[in-house]
């Protein structure tokens, strides 16, 4: 997984880093086991159990025998940023410190939420626009302001690979950015300070 710590460094992750990594893996895989998390994070199974207990207490996942699954799905709610209904093709899933999970209608609103409330968000995942695969919102590459309107403006699209984002930009314009710069671009646009 690009952008994540490798090798022995994983065993030295802080609990908050391990929790984010666990939530991202769970969102990608749909289920995680204690054994695979122990290997992946290079920590003892007891540490994994403690991490899963902490995340389950906050309602971010549900522990099952030998691992964890996502929390029970709730009825779809409107986007916390613009009140549209979430779209599974472009929406972002935000896991908050409070234990709540929010789903935005589109990547634009997810980036706007990260810009405004980043300190409250412990993990975020977004589907790759081309493949639909779930990726960490912090590791994705974004195309902001392409000549395509899907939901909120400016349109923001997430890509697992920078190469795909660049290729899409050549056809539809926009700016390619990492998550921090993309969140800043959306926030700037929302404040009426559009920049090219």
Helix (H, G, I), strand (E, B) or coil at 112: helix
Q: Return the structure tokens found at 123.
A: 């993990």
The verdict on residue 168 lying in a domain is yes
Residues 106 and 63 both lie in one domain: no
Task: Give the CA radius of gyration of the chain.
Answer: 17
CATH number, position 13 = 1.10.10.10
Are 116 and 148 in contact by the 8 Å Cβ rule? The answer is no
Alpha helices, DSSP H, located in 58-144: 107-117
The verdict on residue 86 lying in a domain is no
Give the span between the Cα atoms of 93 and 162, in whole angstroms. Answer: 21
The verdict on residue 195 lying in a domain is no
- What pLDDT, on the 0 to 100 scale, is given for residue 191? 78
Alpha helices, DSSP H, located in 14-65: 15-29, 34-41, 45-57
Query: At what angle are helices 34-41 and 45-57 packed, to 10 degrees?
Result: 110
Of 17, 35, 24, residue with least CA distance to 1:
24
- What pLDDT, on the 0 to 100 scale, is given for residue 5? 41
Residues 66 and 145 both lie in one domain: no
- What pLDDT, on the 0 to 100 scale, is given for residue 7? 40
The verdict on residue 106 lying in a domain is yes
The verdict on residue 75 lying in a domain is no
Residues 145 and 176 both lie in one domain: yes
The verdict on residue 85 lying in a domain is no
Residues 40 and 98 both lie in one domain: no
- Sheet of strand 156-159, all strands in order from the earlier edge strand to the far edge: 156-159, 141-144, 175-177
Phi and psi, residue 192, nearest 5°: 80, 20
- Determine the structural domain holding residue 107 and report its residue range: 93-190
- Residues of the chain with confidence (pLDDT) below 70: 1-11, 72-76, 193-196
Share of the chain above pLDDT 90, in %: 56
Residue matched to tokens 């660049």: 166
Give the span between the Cα atoms of 55 and 42, in whole angstroms. Answer: 18
Q: How far is CA 142 from CA 19, 32, 81, 130, 165, in A?
A: 24, 27, 19, 12, 7
- What pLDDT, on the 0 to 100 scale, is given for residue 167? 96
- In eight-state DSSP terms, residue 11 is G
Residues 118 and 179 both lie in one domain: yes
Residues 101 and 26 both lie in one domain: no
Residues 46 and 125 both lie in one domain: no
Query: What is the rounded average pLDDT for all residues in the chain?
Result: 87
Are 57 and 13 in contact by the 8 Å Cβ rule? The answer is no
- What pLDDT, on the 0 to 100 scale, is given for residue 70? 85
- What pLDDT, on the 0 to 100 scale, is given for residue 11? 65
pLDDT tens column, 86-139:
877 889 999 888 878 889 999 999 999 988 888 899 999 999 999 999 999 999
Residues 33 and 120 both lie in one domain: no
For the chain, how many structural domains are there in total?
A: 2
Q: 0.75 exceeded by the pTM?
A: no
């Amino acid at each position: 997984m690009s952008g994540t710590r490798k090798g022995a460094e994983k065993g030295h992750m802080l609990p908050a880093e391990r929790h984010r990594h666990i939530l991202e893996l769970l969102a990608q895989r749909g289920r995680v086991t204690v054994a695979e998390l122990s290997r992946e994070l290079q920590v003892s199974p007891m540490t994994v159990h403690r991490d899963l207990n902490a995340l389950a207490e906050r309602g971010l996942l549900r522990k099952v025998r030998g691992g964890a699954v996502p929390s029970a799905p709730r009825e779809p709610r409107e986007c916390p940023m613009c009140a549209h209904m979430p779209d599974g093709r472009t929406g972002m899933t935000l896991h908050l410190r409070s234990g709540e999970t929010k789903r935005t209608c589109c990547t634009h609103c997810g980036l706007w939420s990260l810009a405004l409330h980043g300190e409250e968000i412990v993990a975020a995942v977004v589907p790759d626009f081309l493949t639909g695969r779930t990726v960490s919102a912090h590791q994705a590459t974004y195309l902001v302001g392409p000549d395509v309107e899907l939901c909120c403006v400016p349109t923001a699209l997430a890509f697992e690979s920078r190469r795909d984002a660049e290729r899409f930009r050549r056809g539809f314009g926009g700016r390619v950015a990492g998550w921090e710069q993309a969140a800043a671009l959306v926030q700037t646009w929302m404040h009426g300070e559009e920049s090219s």
